[in-house]
Structures are given as structure tokens and as C-alpha cells.
Amino acid sequence: AEELMINSEKLSLAGQLAAGIAHEIRNPITAIKGFVQLMRNGYAEKKEYFDIIASEITRIEMILNELLILAKPQTVKLERQDIRVLLAQVTTLLDTQAILNNVQIVTEFSPGITHISCDENQLKQVFINFIKNAIEAMPGGGEIVIRLKREGTDRIRLSIIDQGCGIPEHVLGRLGQPFYTTKENGTGLGFMVSKRIIENHHGTVKVTSCENSGTTVDVVLPLAHEQQTGI
Ligand code: ADP
Ligand code: MG
């Protein structure tokens, strides 16, 4: 009976995903098809048409990139990395977006060993997702604190704290559900993919939020074993 239940749970998540993918990808395809038809029927080839087509294709690419991470958890390649270095690279990458949005990113790293065993690109994807969500939650600008602190003896806690719009109770309950977004241009995949990556790294993620005052995303990850240092 237990096995059956697990199977049907899997089926419903797969079904949920399939329905979501079909829906999310059909919209941009319908738009692209429409503009291609317009041009084929002799309507002037306006630059705007190409712009829309290009941005709709980018949207499909974005969705597929995020889905591929879900489809290929077995390709996780673990390497010893300093989480501080990964975070520095990610914040540099997001600098322009932060500046354009009047957002200041402040880092508070407590001293100590911050090496973890991880797939660098996947974990960066997680940090990008959470920091982007924080930036997007503060349309009027504000501050994001990125805090690193030892958790117990063998783990590290990364907190991403924003002063944004916060997450209402009913949205909090749907976080991680595929394609659930409150944004005009959101995919609603970022959180689900991030959670999956963190779990693949034997970590946990927790969100605490207060409407109109901000959100904290806490990620706890195991530190790399000492013997892996080599030197
Ligand atoms: P997306 O960013 O594409 O909408 P996500 O899975 O990253 O998808 O997030 C899902 C939803 O959760 C967002 O649309 C938003 O409503 C909410 N959310 C996530 N992070 C935050 C945050 N830091 N502040 C406020 N709302 C958030
Ligand atoms: Mg997001």
C-alpha cells in the first residue's frame, strides 16, 4: 500500500509538471506563431515583431533550463568549494541588477571554515534565484543582507534577508509548487528547482516572512569533511 501511495504521489507531481509545462510553453509558442504568420501574410516585417519573437524564445529557454536541472539530478558533480567565493561571484554577477533597482547587497560572513562539497554551478543557480527574488521583492530599493554563520559543528547557515514586500500566508503555502508565480515575468520554477538542488546537497531550506516588512531564506548545508582538505 505504501509503495502505491508513493507511486501515485510521483504521478501527480509529474502530471502537475506536465500540465504546467504545456501551459507555460504554449503561450510563447502561440505568440511566435502569430507573428510569423503575420509576416508570412505580407505584413511589414517590423522590428518589434522580431523583438517579441526573440523575447518569447528566451522565455521558453529559461523555462527549459530550469526544468533540465530537475531532470538531471544524477549529474551532480561534487567538489570542495568555499561558499564565500561562490557568493562573491554571484553577487558580482547580480551587481548591475541590484544597482539598477537601488538595492544594496551587504555581506556578513563570520570567520571560520566555509568549505562545502557541492556542484558549483547548481549551487550558484540557487544563490542567484534567492537573491533575484529578494531584489524583485523590493521595487523601491532597499538592502539585502547575506549572512554566513556556522550551524552546530558540521554545518553552515546561509541567510538571505530582504526588506521587501514579504510573502502572504497563502503564497507561502504554495512556494515550491511548479509554475506558481505572482510576477508578470516569473516562471514560478526558481524556488522548486533551488529546493531540489539543496536537498541533493543534503541541505535544508526554510522561508520566514512578514508581509510588508521582508523575507528571510535560510539555507543550511553540511560543511565539507576535514579529511577532504588534502593539505
Ligand atoms: P518566480 O520568481 O519566477 O515568481 P519563484 O519560485 O522564485 O518564482 O518564487 C515564487 C513566488 O514566491 C514569487 O512569485 C513570489 O511571489 C514569492 N517569493 C519568493 N521569494 C520571495 C521574496 N524574497 N519576497 C517576496 N516574495 C517572494
Ligand atoms: Mg524567482
**Interface pTM, i.e. ipTM:** 0.99
Q: State if residue 191 touches ligand 1 by the CB under 6 angstroms criterion.
A: yes
Q: State if residue 128 touches ligand 1 by the CB under 6 angstroms criterion.
A: no
The amino acid occupying position 71 is A
Tell me the ligand closest to 160's alpha carbon: 1
Q: State if residue 67 touches ligand 1 by the CB under 6 angstroms criterion.
A: no
Tell me the ligand closest to 180's alpha carbon: 1
C-alpha 231 – ligand 2 centre gap (Å): 39
C-alpha 30 – ligand 2 centre gap (Å): 24
Residue with cell 526588506: 163
C-alpha 186 – ligand 1 centre gap (Å): 8
- Stated pTM of the model: 0.80
Q: State if residue 159 touches ligand 1 by the CB under 6 angstroms criterion.
A: no
Q: State if residue 172 touches ligand 1 by the CB under 6 angstroms criterion.
A: no
Q: DSSP string covering 185-226, please?
A: T--S-HHHHHHHHHHHTT-EEEEEEETTTEEEEEEEEEBPPG
The pLDDT assigned to 67 comes to: 79
Contacts of 189 (CB under 8 A, 6+ apart): 63, 66, 67, 178, 179
Nine-digit cell string for 200: 541533493
Q: Which atom of ligand 1 is nearest to the CA of 176?
A: 6
Taking CA atoms only, the protein residue closest to ligand 1 atom 11 is 181
Provide the residue-wise pLDDT of the chain in tens; the chain has 231 residues.
445 544 555 556 667 677 778 878 888 899 899 889 888 888 777 788 888 899 889 888 888 877 777 766 556 678 999 999 999 999 998 988 899 999 999 999 988 889 999 999 889 989 999 999 999 999 999 999 999 999 999 999 999 999 999 999 999 989 988 888 999 878 888 998 899 889 989 999 999 999 999 999 999 999 998 754 444
Q: Which atom of ligand 1 is nearest to the CA of 187?
A: 3
Q: State if residue 123 touches ligand 1 by the CB under 6 angstroms criterion.
A: no
The pLDDT assigned to 74 comes to: 54
Find the radius of gyration of the CA atoms of the chain: 20
Taking CA atoms only, the protein residue closest to ligand 1 atom 19 is 133
Element (H, E) at 138: none
Residue with cell 533597482: 101
C-alpha 43 – ligand 2 centre gap (Å): 37
- Specify whether the CB–CB gap between 159 and 167 falls below 8 A: no
The pLDDT assigned to 230 comes to: 44
User: 105: closest CA among 136, 140, 141, 146?
Assistant: 146
Q: Which atom of ligand 1 is nearest to the CA of 188?
A: 8
- Specify whether the CB–CB gap between 63 and 24 falls below 8 A: yes
Q: State if residue 107 touches ligand 1 by the CB under 6 angstroms criterion.
A: no
